[in-house]
């Protein structure tokens, strides 16, 4: 039998070092074709589905769901035969471990580029009810002893690094997949910290449904509330660890965000300035856009006007749209506008490429698509690379203003506070107006006080009078 092909975790982004195996889309024994989706991984930036570079039978899942592994680590072994083998080459016993590959077959897989999966290519796990329907000829090799020629003298099928890794991974995956549940239910259970084996399944085929999961979650929450709500009971005398302390492993987006913010805060000398803005005309403009036929079906908010204002102001003050390299200042004559987005996986900053070329309507569509994709956790790594200036909408959370940290590789960021009615002096009279506070942080190595003030004043001018965009 030919040795199986080892699929090694590729670098799906620029400089990716590791990724977490979120969920397997196949199991041992499944047949896969080239470009079939076989696994979903979580990088430091996004969730990514990986297609198979090989066709054949899944020989072993070598990494369990929930584990984080380095790029280049073998994660799955795919044989070249069919599920039931052929007349010339019978299927290997179920207990046999995959043989070690030849050196040329163990070459590190290059990053997958441009090989999108087919829409219907995902292989689903067989249902429990179908277990008894496995053809006898497929099960026979597992029951029969292996021929003497199939085993090298003195070689234990479970011996060798690959065999041991596969056996360990198989045991872990078997435990994880013992409970039937659809992928969305499994993901919800993972997010809620619930072990599916503890949930009573009421599905027609014995699967855990979303209703089962939510019912269990509500019951557990009620029990915790009765025992003292969020606050756990005090640790028992002499216990090794306090049960009131929850431990959350730092990984994925949170780990990448922490490193980036520390690097930025302690590398770039930040200077921040703030300006109060009468945004009443922006609110009127947004109201008109919402009822406009041209914007029918498109979500419009004041963030759209701010984004356009930042693009306009950066064109008048190009040095805020730049990068400091140490020896040079790289001024970008294009705008990849980053929008900080709070997602279930943490803070992400995808950017709108060449935003300076978009009309107001096109920019609105791009903002909607960016927000929808980010909330679904499907933002591609490429969408978070190459940003030139960032906007963070803290006003969506009811916050007036703040001191944002510059996104690494950029020299400016604008924080957009909430818009609320406040007393405002107009022509000597105090009247209620829609007021917001803008906060800007700048890398003082590139942006001096005068430049930062002029840039923020230009942004404020558009918020006060959107008609200036027509000039």
Contacts of 54 (CB under 8 A, 6+ apart): 5, 7, 32, 34, 78, 80
**What six digits make up the tokens of 198?**
């503890």
**What six digits make up the tokens of 203?**
């599905």
Catalytic residue check, 217: no
Residue 444: half-sphere exposure toward Cβ, Cα within 13 Å:
9
- Contact (Cβ atoms closer than 8 angstroms) between residue 92 and residue 56: no
Contacts of 94 (CB under 8 A, 6+ apart): 141, 142
Distance in angstroms (rounded) separating the CA atoms of residues 207 and 179: 7
Residue 23: half-sphere exposure toward Cβ, Cα within 13 Å:
20
**Pick from 461, 111, 445, 394: nearest CA to 453:** 461
Rg (CA), the chain: 28
Distance in angstroms (rounded) separating the CA atoms of residues 21 and 66: 5
Look at residue 438 and give its three-state secondary structure.
strand
Instruction: Determine the distance from the C-alpha atom of residue 247 to the mean position of all C-alpha atoms in its chain, rounded to a whole number.
Output: 21
**Pick from 357, 358, 242: nearest CA to 298:** 358
Q: What is the maximal distance between C-alpha atoms in the chain?
A: 100
Concatenate the DSSP letters of all residues of 323-359 into one string.
Answer: EE-SS-EEE-SS--EEEEEEETTEEE--EETTGGG--
Among the options 217, 270, 333, 444, which is catalytic? 444
Distance in angstroms (rounded) separating the CA atoms of residues 445 and 453: 15
- Contact (Cβ atoms closer than 8 angstroms) between residue 352 and residue 358: yes
Distance in angstroms (rounded) separating the CA atoms of residues 183 and 234: 37
Q: CA angle, corner 273, sides to 269 and 277, nearest 5?
A: 155
Instruction: Determine the distance from the C-alpha atom of residue 248 to the mean position of all C-alpha atoms in its chain, rounded to a whole number.
Output: 17
Q: Which residues are catalytic?
A: 444
């Amino acid at each position: 039998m030919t040795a199986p092909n080892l699929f090694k975790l590729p670098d799906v982004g620029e400089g990716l070092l590791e990724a977490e195996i979120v969920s397997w889309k196949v199991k041992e024994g499944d047949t896969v074709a080239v470009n079939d989706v076989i696994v979903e991984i979580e990088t430091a930036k996004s969730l990514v589905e990986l297609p198979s570079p090989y066709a054949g039978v899944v020989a072993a899942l070598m990494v369990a769901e929930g584990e984080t592994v380095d790029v280049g680590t073998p994660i799955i072994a795919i044989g070249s035969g069919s599920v039931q083998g052929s007349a010339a080459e019978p299927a290997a016993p179920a207990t046999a471990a995959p043989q070690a590959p030849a050196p040329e077959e163990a070459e590190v897989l290059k990053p997958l580029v441009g090989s999108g999966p087919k829409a219907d290519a995902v292989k689903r796990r067989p249902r429990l009810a179908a277990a008894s329907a496995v053809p006898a000829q497929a099960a026979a090799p597992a029951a029969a002893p292996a021929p003497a020629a199939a085993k090298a003298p003195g070689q234990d099928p479970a011996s060798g690094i690959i065999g041991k890794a596969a056996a360990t991974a198989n045991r872990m995956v078997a435990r994880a997949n013992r409970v039937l549940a659809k992928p969305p239910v499994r993901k919800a259970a993972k997010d809620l910290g619930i072990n599916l084996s503890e949930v009573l399944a009421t599905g027609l085929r014995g699967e855990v449904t979303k209703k089962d999961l939510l019912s269990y979650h509500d019951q557990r929450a009620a029990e915790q509330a009765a025992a003292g709500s969020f606050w756990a009971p005090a640790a028992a005398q002499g216990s090794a660890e306090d049960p009131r302390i929850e431990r959350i492993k730092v990984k994925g987006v949170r780990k990448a965000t922490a490193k980036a913010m520390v690097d930025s805060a302690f590398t770039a000398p930040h200077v921040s300035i703030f300006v109060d803005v009468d945004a009443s005309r922006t609110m009127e403009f947004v109201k008109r856009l919402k009822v406009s036929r041209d914007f029918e079906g498109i979500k419009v908010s004041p963030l759209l006007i701010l984004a356009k204002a930042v693009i306009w102001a950066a064109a008048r003050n190009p040095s805020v749209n730049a990068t400091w390299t140490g020896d040079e200042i790289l001024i970008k004559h294009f705008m990849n506008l980053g929008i900080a987005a709070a997602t279930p996986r943490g803070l992400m900053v995808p950017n709108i490429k060449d935003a300076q070329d978009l009309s107001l309507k096109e920019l609105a569509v791009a903002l909607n698509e960016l927000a929808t994709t980010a909330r679904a956790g499907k933002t591609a790594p490429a969408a978070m690379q190459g940003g030139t200036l960032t906007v963070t909408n803290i006003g969506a959370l009811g916050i007036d203003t703040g001191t944002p940290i510059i996104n690494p590789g950029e020299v400016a960021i604008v924080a957009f506070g909430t818009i609320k009615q406040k007393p405002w002096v107009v022509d000597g009279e105090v009247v209620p107006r829609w007021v917001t506070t803008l906060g800007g942080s700048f890398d003082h190595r590139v942006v001096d006080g005068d430049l930062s003030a002029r840039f923020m004043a230009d942004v404020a001018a558009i918020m006060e009078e959107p008609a200036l965009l027509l000039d």
